[in-house]
Amino acid sequence: MKSFAKTVVSKLSEKQAAAELERLAHEISGHDKAYYQNDAPEISDAEYDQLRKRNNDIEKRFPSLVRPDSPNLRVGAAPVDKFEKVKHRRPMLSLDNAFDDEDIVEFCNRIRRFLNLSEDAAVVVTAEPKIDGLSASLRYEGGKFVQGATRGDGEIGEDITQNLRTIRDIPLVLKSPKVPDVVEVRGEVYMSHRDFERLNARQARDNQPVFANPRNAAAGSLRQLDARITAQRPLRFFAYAWGEMSEQPADTQMGTLKQFAKWGFSVNELTVQCKSVDEILSTYSLIESKRAELGYDIDGVVYKINNLEWQERLGFVSRSPRWAIAHKFPAEKAQTVLKDIEIQVGRTGTLTPVARLSPVTVGGVVVSNATLHNEDEIDRKDIRIGDTVVVQRAGDVIPQVVSVVLEKRKPKSKKYVFPDHCPVCGSKAVRSINPKTGVPDAARRCTGAMTCPAQSVERLKHFVSRNAFDIEGLGAKQIVRFHDEGIIGEPADIFTLEERNGMDFEPLQEREGWGETSVSNLFAAIDERRTISMERFVFALGIRHIGDTIASLLARTYGTFDNLYSSLLQARDENSPARSELVSIDGIGEVVALSMVEFFSEEHNTSAVDRLLKQVVVEAAELPQSDSPVAGKTVVFTGTLEKMTRSEAKAKAESLGAKVSGSVSSKTDYVVAGPGAGSKLKKAQELNVSVLTEDEWMTLTK
């Protein structure tokens, strides 16, 4: 094609201008790549600016010719008030962690067991650095970047398209030849050490706050409501995973990453394949040895099963895939003085000791608090106030006190005595004895229950937390204030805040820090949550042992909150069918069942739930893949399965919306019986439950 690089802008014809814009887009993006990805600029900054200026001038003269991959689309759009929510079409998962070689051996064995492979079958994985940044999902339609989102809670993230557009490592248009209609590339946004230093120097010069580490700097830069600020921050991106894909470009992890690179993404160059545990461990050592010279932060190595069909079969548990694991680098350590031990009271009354430390930098972050776990831990390590202690911090986990430096202990130090009363309400704090084992619980608990303000405020904080009601503008800080002032005492009070505003208490809009707009935004955000999914609702109740995984299992099993509620009321009777149904749910043990029943046996709990139900509507649970013939059905597997392992069968059934139970009852829809089936098969026949062979089951769930 003829070049018009020398023609002055005012003389360009429309056709020539289009050709010039195309050339400039490619040339500028090539220079961006040289600069940002390879750290090897090929032209001077002034020459680069010339290219940018020429591009701008042409775009100004021919606005209709602005390309979807125009370099200008990286300068940042106008600020927004808040980020819109984006529902991920496929959840954004996180990773399970491995800390030592044993964990890796177990990972490979678990995969062999799950897929029923022989002990010596090769398990091929990819190994790549675990980048210490923030994950993001990028959606392309027809090859064009249309939406970018943060991970959020894994289900719903925030729309940060405009911010992501400014990152030069992220292609705005995917390079052909073959690009599927829908492509969602996921990866990590991060900042290099050099860029981080430069940014902090600039911040300091401009009297702006400096960032503690590159990860915080990347996070702070990416979540700017004004994308023009993001555009000035040197962010980068590595692609390592994907979400929805209308077509899979390869049948392996490695092949897919290679395709990503061809489409124009940066894929970490240390990514390799490993065929054995030995190869995995030597790759780990190799990457660890390069850690210091990489120029960006990594905190471990991630292994992923290379075969995508296996990935599919392995599926995921809770929020992590079974087919991947993060092998973390050892935690960083430092010494400091333990100034005090503070006791915090959690939502279920647990007294948790927290170390107040002289601030110390551990792995680039200033630490002044650390967890001491519990009473026995303090006792075992003989940790005393005034001691010099070793503190460690690994990735995003809470820092911990590892040990005491005895040589530095003061001669007059005294053994720490753990309080036996709640520091907040003064009630007795006790350690209950596990009835089965006779061993005392690790935790000492305040017996004040509803009367303990610490517990009620923690319950409320939990109620509004991210995986629960997640009310915008009503976070932990506001909850504490409203609780202390007696405005919100229990969850239902949140939903009557508006009608009580200015009646029971001074109008919010007249308080310091609140204006008309923020108050009406708060009420709108509360109203938005008057309809809530069942799993969030169950999780929000803050029942001991009921995390988000169990909450969602309960939602899928019982379908509606009414159903769960009435079953739990019946389950108070130990011999009721409702009780046996509850404990027969695969994934719910005695402890969880008992905790649920106990909660619903307390009148003050049920009345608080009833008051809340007057304010909110709990949606029926969404059953996954409701078009499957087994959706909503209860299945029991018994005998030996030959085509798949028990875990695989269970995971598959659940992914199709079936409930897997461990015992046969009149509520069972199918019993899948393999060779050697005994009492369960007999019971099924007695109760007239359909019995399927493994093959029949496979056909049904195809």
Q: How far is the CB of 145 from ligand IVH (least distance, A)?
A: 20
CA distances from 38 to 41, 529, 660 (A): 8, 47, 51
Distance CA 392, CA 330 (A): 9
Among 4, 36, 83, 240, binds ligand IVH (CB under 6 A): 240
With CB under 6 A as the contact rule, the residue among 59, 169, 184, 188 that binds ligand IVH is 188
Binding pattern for the stretch 319-348 against ligand IVH, x by CB under 6 A and - elsewhere: --x--x-x----------------------
- Looking at 170, 241, 401, 526, which residue binds ligand IVH (CB under 6 A)? 241
The single residue listed with the structure tokens 């994985």 is 125
Cβ nearer to ligand IVH, comparing 143 with 148: 148
Which region among 126-134, 175-183, 207-215, 574-582 touches ligand IVH (by CB under 6 A)?
126-134
Direct distance between the N- and C-terminal alpha carbons of the chain, in angstroms, rounded to an integer:
53
Closer of 328 and 462 to ligand IVH (Cβ): 328
Instruction: Locate 147 and state its tokens.
Output: 């939406």
> Closest residue to ligand IVH, Cβ-based?
135
Reduced DSSP (H G I as helix, E B as strand, rest coil) percent helix, strand, coil of the chain, to 5: 40, 20, 40
d(CA 132, CA 152) in angstroms, rounded, equals 16
- Yes or no: say if 88 and 157 are a contact pair by the CB < 8 Å rule: yes
Binding mask 86-105 for ligand IVH (x = CB under 6 A): -------xxx----------
Closer to ligand IVH by CB, 304 or 461: give it: 304
Long-range Cβ contact pairs of 663-667 (< 8 A, separation 24 or more): 663/580, 663/584, 663/636, 664/636, 664/689, 665/577, 665/580, 665/581, 665/584, 667/581, 667/634
| DSSP letter assigned to residue 198 | H
Question: Rounded to the nearest whole angstrom, what is the least distance from the CB of residue 92 to ligand IVH in the complex?
Answer: 7
Task: Identify whether the C-beta of residue 63 lies closer than 8 Å to the C-beta of residue 112.
Answer: no
Residue 226: name the closest of 75, 358, 105, 44 by CA: 75
* Pairing outcome for strands 690-692 and 670-673: parallel
CB of residue 590 vs ligand IVH: minimum separation in angstroms? Answer: 31
CA–CA separation, 75 and 77 (whole Å): 7
CA pair distance 242, 339, nearest whole angstrom: 46
Q: Cβ atoms within 10 A of the Cβ of 450, count?
A: 14
Among positions 21, 160, 257, 302, the unique one binding ligand IVH when judged by CB under 6 A: 302
Binds ligand IVH (CB under 6 A): choice among 29, 70, 126, 135: 135
User: What is the total count of residues that contact ligand IVH (CB under 6 A)?
Assistant: 15
Return the structure tokens found at 17.
């201008």
* Residue of 9, 12, 25, 131 interacting with ligand IVH (CB under 6 A): 131
User: Which among 302, 344, 345, 343 has a CA at the least distance from the CA of 324?
Assistant: 302
Q: Any idea which residue has 């990489």 for tokens?
A: 294
- Using CB under 6 A as the binding rule, whether residue 636 contacts ligand IVH is answered as no
Dihedrals φ, ψ of 667, to 5°? -85, -5
Residue 302 or 532: which CB sits closer to ligand IVH? 302
Please, what is the minimum distance in Å from the beta carbon of residue 316 to ligand IVH? 8
- Closer to ligand IVH by CB, 94 or 645: give it: 94
* Residue 576 C-beta: closest distance to ligand IVH, Å: 41
* 130 assigned to active site: yes
DSSP 43-86: S-HHHHHHHHHHHHHHHHH-GGG--TT-GGGGS-PPP-SSPPEE
In angstroms, give the least distance from the CB of 130 to ligand IVH: 4
Single out the catalytic residue among 85, 130, 415, 652: 130
Edge to edge, what strands does the sheet with 182-190 contain?
144-150, 134-141, 182-190, 236-245
Measured from the CB of residue 97, what is the shortest distance to ligand IVH in angstroms? 7
Nearest to ligand IVH of 328, 483 (CB atom)? 328
When the beta carbons of 34 and 294 are compared against ligand IVH, the nearer one is 294
Position among 31, 74, 130, 483 found at the interface with ligand IVH (CB under 6 A): 130
Per CB under 6 A, which of residues 144..173 are in contact with ligand IVH? 151
Of residues 67 and 223, the one with the C-beta less far from ligand IVH: 223
Which one of 100-108, 128-136, 339-347, 441-449 is the stretch in contact with ligand IVH (CB under 6 A)? 128-136
What gap in Å lies between CA 171 and CA 347, rounded to an integer?
46
CA dist 226 and 259 (Å) reads 33
* Cβ nearer to ligand IVH, comparing 132 with 493: 132
Decide whether 187 or 353 has the Cβ nearer to ligand IVH.
Answer: 187
- Cα dihedral 548/183/108/100 (nearest 10): -70
Nearest distance in Å: CB 151, ligand IVH: 6
- Least distance in Å: CB of 150 to ligand IVH? 10
Which candidate, 127, 240, 233, 147, places its Cα nearest to that of 187? 240
Q: Judged by CB, which is closer to ligand IVH: 76, or 157?
A: 157
Cis peptide before 177 (omega within 30 of 0): yes
Question: At closest approach, how far in Å is the CB of 93 from ligand IVH?
Answer: 4
Smallest distance, Å, CB 391 to ligand IVH? Answer: 22
Query: Count of CB atoms within 10 A of residue 317's CB?
Result: 13
List residues binding ligand IVH (CB under 6 A): 93-95, 128, 130-131, 135, 151, 188, 240-241, 302, 321, 324, 326
Give catalytic residues, as residue numbers. 130
